[in-house]
Structure 1
Amino acid sequence: MGIPHKFDRGRAMADRKWVRLFLKRHPDISRRKAQHMNVAGAAKLNRFIVNDYFQKLRDVMTESGVINNPQCIFNMDEKGCQLNLHKQQVVLAKKGSKRVHMIAEEHAENVTIVACGNALGQAILPMILMKGIRKKIEWSLHLPPGSVIEMTAKGSMTTETFVKWIDHFSKFKPTGKVLLIFDGASSHLDQTIVDASEKRYYFILPT
């Protein structure tokens, strides 16, 4: 357009004065601290990637014959929870004390809850992943009957455990083909999972 810019030619960046005047001209824009986002998270906010995914989702639902059967469309996800919550405790201390500390574990033990439901809002019983090797009977006492507890090295999902979850899911799914949607975590992307799903007439679609 032939309009000379006032940016720093060496750094090819706007200086502080330009930013200050820009904000003055646009009062609807403010300074904010940016939150970190990984590449995978940014991709999920890309309009073209999202549109492409939903087109693939429609194609899969049509191919599998579940597009008009919401009871056959399932979504599963995992939620990591800490057993020990480090809440601030009320203690007695001398008036004027600037710092009052309480000794606590640096890292709380982690468990993972695997939940799944269909497009009608019907949920299947959960699988709980605990850290360790040996399972204690008392852990199941207050869970809904039919819930499952599995042990893993870190209390998180693994490929082997995901295959076990597929077996668990098979007990509750309706007869015939179903669509199972889940995220693209590394523990979900393995040929053994594809094979286990095909044997049970699942169509799987990572997000």
Structure 2
Amino acid sequence: MAGQDWFHRFMQRNKKLTIRKPEGLTKARIDGMKKEKVTYFFNTLETVVDNNNLRGRPESQKGAKDVVSMTSVERGENVTVLACINATGQYIPPYVIFKGVRKRYDLLLGMPPGTEVAMTEKGWVTEEAFKLWLQHFNRYRTPGKVILILDGHASHTTRGNGPHICELCADT
């Protein structure tokens, strides 16, 4: 059996290797990565792409919408940024959610053009904030049919956990 000495010598010989601390995942995220759920997601995605003649059209909005939560060191408050980019690098201006009740336009200072600011009680995405983001998305998205891939966060769907695919047509 390899011991500590072997491990240290191995690491000295392989300086490009690094030790990483695993990131914690919730049970819901782990369950969402089960083979049958991932297979179902990609089969559904393939069907939607084929049914809407979107294969090989990277200008279509087939990028992912990412939701990240960032904590400000100075104040310890949550800020959520909803971002969306497609395969050609075109992006929807960010939608930034701050903790608060009254919208503060001074928070837009220094933000990219078209950025929208919203306020929620905890600075997190709520179902209502997500609906407003969808309107923001529709103002800036590529014209025509697009596919929007969502991560299954509770604010994005009432159908349960897991990623979902939303077909959006030009008139929505």
Question: Which stretches of structure 1, 4 residues or longer, exceed 4 Å deviation after superposition?
Answer: 33-36
Q: Which residue matches 2:79?
A: 111
1:131 to 1:69, Cα distance in 2 relative to 1, 3 A: same
1:53, distance to aligned residue in structure 2 (A): 1.9
1:165, distance to aligned residue in structure 2 (A): 0.6
Give per-residue Cα distances to partners, 1:116-143, cap 9 Å, x unaligned: 0012222111000011111222211211
1:167 to 1:37, Cα distance in 2 relative to 1, 3 A: closer
1:156 corresponds to 2:144: no
Q: Which residue matches 2:55?
A: 67
User: What code does the residue aligned with 2:120 have?
Assistant: T
Larger radius of gyration: 1
SS at match of 2:59: helix
User: What code does the residue aligned with 1:180 have?
Assistant: L
Q: Which residue matches 1:42?
A: 30
> What are the ranges of 5 or more consecutive residues in structure 1 without an aligned counterpart?
1-23, 86-104, 192-196, 203-207
In the aligned structure 1, how far is the partner of 2:105 from the partner of 2:39? 47
SS at match of 1:42: helix
SS at match of 2:64: strand
In the aligned structure 1, how far is the partner of 2:96 from the partner of 2:129? 11
Higher mean C-alpha displacement, 137-146 vs 159-168: 137-146
Q: Is the 8 A contact 1:74 1:178 kept in 2?
A: no
Q: How does 1:94-173 map to 2 (within 5 A)?
A: 108-173=76-141
User: What code does the residue aligned with 1:175 have?
Assistant: P
1:49 to 1:109, Cα distance in 2 relative to 1, 3 A: same
In the aligned structure 2, how far is the partner of 1:186 from the partner of 1:137? 28
1:119 to 1:136, Cα distance in 2 relative to 1, 3 A: same
Q: Percent identity?
A: 33
Give the alignment partner of residue 155 of structure 2, picking from 183, 187, 190: 187
Give per-residue Cα distances to partners, 1:56-89, cap 9 Å, x unaligned: 211111112222211112311111111125xxxx
Q: Is the 8 A contact 2:105 2:117 kept in 1?
A: no
1:137 to 1:120, Cα distance in 2 relative to 1, 3 A: same
1:37 to 1:167, Cα distance in 2 relative to 1, 3 A: closer
